[in-house]
Chain A
């Protein structure tokens, strides 16, 4: 009787269902694992269907795109885990970039860069104050500030592009071509992903970020100042978006009102593909970074595969929904 039971459980462990329930705890310990599996699947698929995909040139090209989107996604993930959204990242990205051009054309570029990050932090602060003091959902607040930042940009430039005529210091440290398509932005992206991942999982502040998104009331009862945590995360999200904006400017050497249109949704898609809960309290930075890599691979991979570029959005949408379903399943089996 006993032996039969043991055999029964062993068989179950070898079945597909058993495999998933056995990997459940592993995935809950390494929540970015699901994103990693999806990443490998997409990578292998494009390597097969797109002949030029697996070349250093196209991979570094993808990574340039990914680094800028990914830096936005890291800030977005941090904020979303603490239970808030930021739709204004694309507006801050474009406005920050344009402001950088204007300032760097008359000031040292490094000073211009610092001022831009400061202005971004202020926009994040405003997002946070309106949301937290006004009791307005951050979805609405940041939808508003996205429109405001985009509107200011459009009104200030009249829709014309601005050429960058500043010094080369900041463009060099952010995005100068090193060779083989490699750029400093790749290193910044990886370093920031590791840094924020460390802060989230290994520091006291990270614990408060999870708690603020997991349950604000309980976190407060336990003495965590959730408003202060969220406010800081709004500021982080905006600063990261402006940093990505300055990177894009360093690469293109001009600012344009159309820059980063739709990036807010691509950033959120990256975060969700990476396994972060839309309701907060759960998620990983490395997953969000991988999510951004996937979005970038799809964008370039489809073009290299000869598919019409218009298909890109449809493809990302399909991956987003699939990822959301898989992530939900993983979380259900692991808890």
Chain B
């Protein structure tokens, strides 16, 4: 199993009407790897993430996860296989408590019939442990998410994904509109997730956000993969040049 990559995409294509969002995209994500998925706006990054997270299937091409061919019918199914998405704004419900958010859609149950009863003590205990492990100080998991800063929210989302045993984390611009200090909090959290065995696909158009932690980069331009770069081969400035020009130029 460890020989085959965690994710293998073969000739993935997706079009929306006249727009070719992805064309013949083939790439892999290795076990325990942080992959930076780069590209300008409209390059097809989000489409690729949605294909991987089961939001919609590709028009053509094959998707392999842990060596097995997969066809996701829903995000729920992808999540059950261990693929977790953390969106910049679509992860936590502000008005609800941290522990209710943490377990939303996967609530622990003490009693199933006639109506599923929440295991609230487990929710509070596990959530406190997981959130505390991230290094976020909250007085109680009963507090609403609105007391958390943007960085803490991302960290909680990532912590939640790891708690539920994510093998692949899809991070969609996790640092957009975060302060410098918060970026460090989120980076720490991503590294910790990676150290505990998860692979990460990190989407952004800002190379500096992902360069410090990524191992490898895939660059998209108008739906086509234009470059696959090892971190040791290229400086961030050169990567920006590739993204901006839409061409792979050898140094």
Interface of A toward B, CB cutoff 8 Å? 25, 28-29, 199, 202-207, 210-211, 214-215, 217-219, 221-224, 277, 281-282, 334-335
Contact = CB atoms under 8 A, between A and B. Distances in A.
Say whether chain A's binding surface is mostly helix, strand, loop, or mixed.
helix
Contacts of B143: 25, 28
B75 A204 contact: no
Interface residues of B, number: 31
A290 to B, nearest CB: 21
Nearest to B92: A218
B115 interface: yes
Interface in B85-112: 85, 87, 90-96, 100, 103-107, 109
A202 B96 contact: no
A245 to B, nearest CB: 26
B157 to A, nearest CB: 10
A219 B142 contact: no
A29 to B, nearest CB: 6
B115 A214 contact: no
B93 A281 contact: yes
A210 B145 CA distance: 13
B144 A28 contact: yes
Given A199-B115, A214-B94, A222 B105 contact: yes
24 contacts: A25-B143, A28-B143, A28-B144, A202-B118, A204-B109, A204-B116, A205-B115, A207-B100, A207-B103, A210-B100, A211-B100, A214-B93, A218-B92, A218-B93, A219-B93, A221-B87, A221-B90, A222-B106, A223-B105, A224-B105, A277-B95, A281-B93, A281-B96, A335-B146
A223 B91 CA distance: 12
B133 to A, nearest CB: 21
A335 B118 contact: no
Contacts of B15: none
Contact of A281 (B90, B95, B103): B95
A224 B142 CA distance: 21
Contacts of B176: none
B115 A218 contact: no
A272 to B, nearest CB: 16
Interface in B4-24: none
Contacts of B107: 204, 207
Contacts of B96: 210-211, 214, 281
Contact of B115 (A203, A215, A217): A203
A221 B91 contact: yes
Nearest to B112: A204
B74 to A, nearest CB: 8
A221 B75 contact: yes
Say whether chain B's binding surface is mostly helix, strand, loop, or mixed.
loop
A335 B142 contact: no
Contacts of A217: 90
B178 interface: no
Interface string B115-129: 111101000000000
A207 B118 contact: yes
B181 interface: no
B52 to A, nearest CB: 14
Query: What 9 A-B pairs come out closest when comparing CB atoms?
Result: A222-B105, A223-B105, A214-B93, A204-B116, A281-B95, A223-B76, A215-B93, A222-B104, A204-B107
A205 B116 contact: yes
Nearest to B107: A204
A214 B116 contact: no
Nearest to B120: A202
Contacts of A205: 115-116
Given A25-B143, A221-B85, A335-B146, A203 B93 contact: no
A210 to B, nearest CB: 6
B213 to A, nearest CB: 24
B93 A223 contact: no
Contacts of B142: 28-29
Contacts of B147: 335
B46 to A, nearest CB: 14
A252 B140 CA distance: 50
B216 interface: no
B167 interface: no
A204 B118 CA distance: 6
A207 B96 CA distance: 9
Given A203-B118, A204-B118, A281-B95, 10 more contacts: A28-B142, A28-B144, A207-B103, A211-B104, A214-B95, A218-B91, A218-B92, A222-B106, A223-B106, A224-B105
A210 B144 CA distance: 12
B45 interface: no
B235 interface: no
B225 interface: no
B139 interface: yes
A277 B146 CA distance: 16
Indicate the member of A25, A224, A335 with the most B CB atoms within 10 Å. A335
Contacts of B144: 28, 334-335
